[in-house]
Chains A and B, each alone.
Chain A
């Protein structure tokens, strides 16, 4: 495998984590338009910690913790707002984080941060695999049924005695952690970060990965991120027509199959429901 292909896989891993970050929040029916903000929190925390002598592994864990805390703090407004209002709140969060990165002196401002230690691809793949497996375990647990119940009918779920706020805030925290890990890996893979790397476009693409792949299953985010990362690479021969081609493919898929590549089918029940539950 060439270093180019290894690099592409690294980029796929980072984007898969971003897609999964949006997916976890969307699983409760909430749209997160600020995943780039969480990514930035993870990236800057991890980069600054490692620049100051902390080992890369611990630095990335710190980045994940910082982004989780940000997710928890942002998730709390879920108590008050929902729908488009929550989406706008997350959008504002992303803008605020990017703006802070531009003005806080210890972020390097627009000049960015240099001197970040690099991870080898294997470590990056390993971190991603662990995150995917952890999320897989979560989606296979009974807890995930509560998450889906909020997505399908939040009112009914709360009438059934489910503390919907706790679950929603929990998913925001998990989503923050995944984006924070993506940010940490980004900073240690590219060894340079600047506020421009965490623009609103990054958040929009993370949402696109989920919508393109299919929002009913975590594999939709994985497939969406993989296809939308690799498609522009495999169509380089189209030169300046490439962005138009990728945009057209997106458009066609979303028109022909509005629920994404995997569609509305959820692979979840196959794994999680017992025969008794299905019969009932």
Chain B
């Protein structure tokens, strides 16, 4: 056989042997592990990438939480360690990080991932590896429900939010007709614009001026003139927006520049100080479990703002900061309630899962929280009205 053929054969044999080895090691399971001297919780946050401002503030809040717990003596004498990894809001990375936290860091529970797209791929992995995971921001309907029993979300379904916002907006404005627009490149925006908003609007006796063809846009669109013209032409009393505040802000700026200040309504994705700055003359109806002016959480807000100032995190705490803080508190409470600080990792994870599954009337920052069978929490929330640069409470609601 020639040298050429020998080399080629060796290369092929090597590749085949490598793939064979990998094939047979592919079924390895997570080894049993003890917890050690610290209690480890993992966190998957988008510290870089398109929603990094939320990831950064979440990180600061979790560091504050870790210090609070450890300064108060830890959990049953053991220190708490929150292992934070950056996902960049990339779904594939979030899935890999669940594997890393579960199999290498041996955490007993995971906070995050942040977005619904990340949760869609990370939750099935958490379910396979049998590690509890609580997302603080994913609100696309059904994501936790599809990944029982290990996936949870400390968020209210966007359907519940809009079910409360639309009647309050109608009452406040005396509206009879609405138009709908949504960010067609975003999963949550599309869910709101096509699946949630139209039936809620119709159920409240409002005319849907955009009919079965809502106006679509994306955050990457450079020019939104056509979409804004379509919305103005419908002459609706209000516009329902399925979009995150940054995409919505872009649309609102274009509307404002055309002198159109039609009131806007939407789910929790609109709650942000930035959107009020983008369109100061526009009234915005939204909803959330927290906002910086919430009286029930005034002390916590002051504490977080102090930390933000020290660490150079811009702005005030967001609803997602409060929800990740609450989720971390749930883990600590679960460890204490189940006396899990000395349990091995696998037993601690099962104990936490059972605590979360049966959780009733857990004291959150603004309201009590209970877990539903779907893996999403049930809790009272605010219907908010944004005007004059500030959010105020219009009503309270329960899903």
Contact = CB atoms under 8 A, between A and B. Distances in A.
Contact of A1 (B7, B8, B28, B146): B28
Nearest to B22: A125
Interface in A165-218: 186, 190-192, 194-197
Contacts of A140: 8
A212 B209 CA distance: 53
Interface stretch (A73-81, A239-247, A256-264): A239-247
Contacts of A109: 184, 190, 194
Interface in B271-300: none
Interface string A93-112: 00000000011000001111
A102 B184 contact: yes
A4 B96 contact: yes
B92 interface: yes
Nearest to A244: B48
Contacts of B60: none
A9 B22 contact: yes
B117 A114 contact: no
B85 A2 contact: no
A190 B121 contact: yes
Nearest to A242: B86
Contacts of B183: 110
Contact of A120 (B8, B12, B27): B27
A39 to B, nearest CB: 12
Nearest to A121: B26
Nearest to A7: B99
Contacts of B56: 240
Interface stretch (A54-62, A150-158, A268-276): A268-276
Q: Which of A129, A192, A236 has the most CB of B within 10 A?
A: A192
Nearest to B55: A240
Contact of B99 (A4, A195, A242, A270): A4
B95 interface: yes
Contact of A240 (B2, B4, B8, B48): B48
Contact of A6 (B26, B117, B146): B26
A128 interface: yes
A279 interface: no
A197 B115 CA distance: 14
B204 interface: no
B186 interface: yes
Size class of the A contact interface (CB-based, 8 Å): 35 or more
A109 B146 CA distance: 19
A122 to B, nearest CB: 4
Interface residues of B, number: 51
Interface string B94-105: 011001101110
A250 interface: no
B23 A126 contact: yes
A194 B187 contact: yes
Contacts of A3: 28-30, 99, 102-103, 129
Interface stretch (B13-21, B161-169, B320-328): B13-21
A109 B16 CA distance: 39
A88 interface: no
Contact of A133 (B15, B25, B88, B125): B15
B25 A1 contact: yes
A201 to B, nearest CB: 10
Contacts of B18: 129
B95 A7 contact: yes
A129 B15 contact: yes
A120 B102 CA distance: 18
A194 B92 CA distance: 12
B102 A110 contact: no
Contact of A190 (B92, B140, B187): B92
Nearest to B29: A3
Contacts of B92: 11, 186, 190, 197
B11 interface: yes
14 contacts: A1-B25, A2-B30, A4-B100, A6-B28, A112-B187, A125-B19, A125-B22, A126-B19, A133-B16, A191-B121, A194-B117, A196-B117, A271-B4, A274-B2
Given A4-B96, A7-B96, 13 more contacts: A3-B103, A6-B26, A11-B96, A111-B140, A122-B22, A122-B23, A122-B27, A194-B117, A196-B117, A236-B85, A243-B88, A271-B4, A272-B4
